[in-house]
């Protein structure tokens, strides 16, 4: 599943090719992948593409509805215009082969002759039409996005201070913080020099503050480099992100720590691969 920086990258790139385009036809090939009246989309002009947490929201000009996409594990969006295509999500042969494919679930035709394909191998992803009121209600229940102004040190400290779980699990809890996945949780804890197994509520005020800043720093770095091309992620130009070239600890089991030369270890926390340096993460 793409993490926040990956979805942010997809959002920006699809915004560039979809803004101003008018929908001329919508074909739903798998009914369970689409919710809403697809015919209502026909004739509507796309205003832009935005992101909220790990969801993509397509807005429209002069219409009080949004088309929301969640890629989940293997979802993929492909914009195809003649021989030119841009892709976001799970990379498979579909993003270079003829479309539609057996994994295509929804097709949106546009007024410039282009098509937007929603493909999903494992069919966990979805495309849904939301009213602005329903969208506001849904997003209003979401925790603060870690790139938002609502993500404050005070909020962060309160959440950690109430939890006896491993701090890494709290960071990845999408009911607490929006957008921190396995890659960036690993690197944030490394940057803050914290053992991922420590109980969140046992962190000192200084450690909490340093971890808060580390989360913001690694997410910012991920966005800067267009995300990471691991776990089957490519961006909307069909190109992998570059964050993996800057991993601090994620995926580096057996390598030497860049700080103290200790060997990086891999363990399991909550069934997720966890990387840390036993020398400098305490």
| CATH code for position 132 | 3.20.190.10
Instruction: Please check whether residues 68 and 188 belong to one and the same domain.
Output: no
Establish if 84 belongs to a structural domain.
yes
Number of domains in the chain: 2
Residue with tokens 């992620």: 233
Instruction: Please check whether residues 189 and 133 belong to one and the same domain.
Output: no
- Give the model confidence (pLDDT) of 40-91 as tens digits: 999 999 999 999 988 999 999 999 999 999 999 888 899 999 888 877 777 6
β-pair partners for 115: 80, 109
Region 204-217: mean pLDDT is 98
Establish if 147 belongs to a structural domain.
no
Which of 94, 119, 140 marks a domain boundary? 140
Q: Catalytic residue at 3?
A: yes
Q: Catalytic residue at 2?
A: yes
Q: Catalytic residue at 162?
A: no
Q: State the CATH number of the domain containing residue 180.
A: 1.10.8.50
Which of 140, 161, 179 marks a domain boundary? 140
Task: Give pLDDT, residue 229.
Answer: 45
pTM of model > 0.85: no
Output DSSP code: residue 213.
Answer: H
**CA–CA dist 23, 185 (Å, integer):** 39
> Residue 245 to residues 7, 189, 261, 263, 274: CA-CA distances in angstroms?
18, 18, 19, 19, 18
Q: Residues 6 or more apart from 262 whose CB is under 8 A from it?
A: 256, 277, 278, 279, 280
Which of 82, 105, 140 marks a domain boundary? 140
* Summary mean pLDDT of the chain: 91
- Residues 2, 5, 143, 144: which is the catalytic one? 2
- Residues 44, 52, 54, 115: which is the catalytic one? 54
Region 196-223: mean pLDDT is 96
Instruction: Please check whether residues 80 and 189 belong to one and the same domain.
Output: no
41 phi/psi in degrees, rounded to 5: -75, -25
Instruction: Please check whether residues 263 and 162 belong to one and the same domain.
Output: yes
Establish if 176 belongs to a structural domain.
yes
Q: Is residue 241 scored above 70 in pLDDT?
A: no
Is residue 222 within a helix (H) or strand (E), and if so which, with residue range?
helix 205-224
Instruction: Please check whether residues 98 and 166 belong to one and the same domain.
Output: no
Instruction: Please check whether residues 130 and 223 belong to one and the same domain.
Output: no
Establish if 217 belongs to a structural domain.
yes
Tell me the residue range of the domain where 28 lies: 4-140
Residue with tokens 């088309």: 67
Q: Catalytic residue at 21?
A: no
Instruction: Please check whether residues 10 and 135 belong to one and the same domain.
Output: yes
């Amino acid at each position: 599943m793409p993490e926040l920086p990956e979805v942010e990258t997809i959002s920006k790139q699809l915004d560039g090719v979809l803004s101003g385009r008018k929908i001329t036809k919508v074909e739903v090939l798998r009914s369970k992948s689409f919710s809403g009246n697809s015919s209502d989309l026909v004739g509507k002009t796309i205003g832009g593409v935005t992101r909220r947490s790990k969801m993509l929201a397509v807005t429209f000009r002069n219409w009080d509805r949004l088309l929301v996409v969640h890629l989940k594990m293997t979802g993929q969006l492909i914009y195809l215009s003649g021989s030119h295509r841009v892709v976001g999500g799970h990379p498979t042969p579909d993003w270079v082969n003829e479309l539609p494919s057996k994994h295509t679930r929804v097709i949106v035709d546009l007024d410039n002759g282009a098509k937007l394909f929603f493909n999903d191998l494992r069919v966990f992803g979805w495309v849904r039409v939301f009213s602005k009121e329903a969208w506001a209600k849904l997003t209003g229940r979401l925790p603060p996005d870690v790139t938002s102004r609502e993500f404050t040190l005070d909020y962060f400290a309160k959440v950690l201070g109430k939890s006896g779980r491993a701090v890494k699990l709290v960071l990845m809890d999408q009911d607490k913080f929006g957008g921190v996945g396995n890659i960036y949780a690993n690197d944030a804890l490394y940057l803050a020099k914290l053992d991922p197994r420590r109980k969140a509520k046992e962190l000192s005020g200084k450690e909490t503050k340093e971890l808060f800043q580390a989360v913001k720093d690694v997410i910012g770095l991920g966005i800067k480099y267009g995300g990471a091309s691991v776990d089957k992620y490519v961006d909307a130009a069909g190109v992998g992100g570059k964050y993996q070239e800057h991993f601090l600890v994620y995926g580096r089991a057996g390598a030497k720590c860049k700080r103290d030369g200790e060997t990086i270890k891999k363990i399991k926390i909550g069934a997720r691969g966890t990387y840390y340096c036993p020398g400098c993460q305490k």
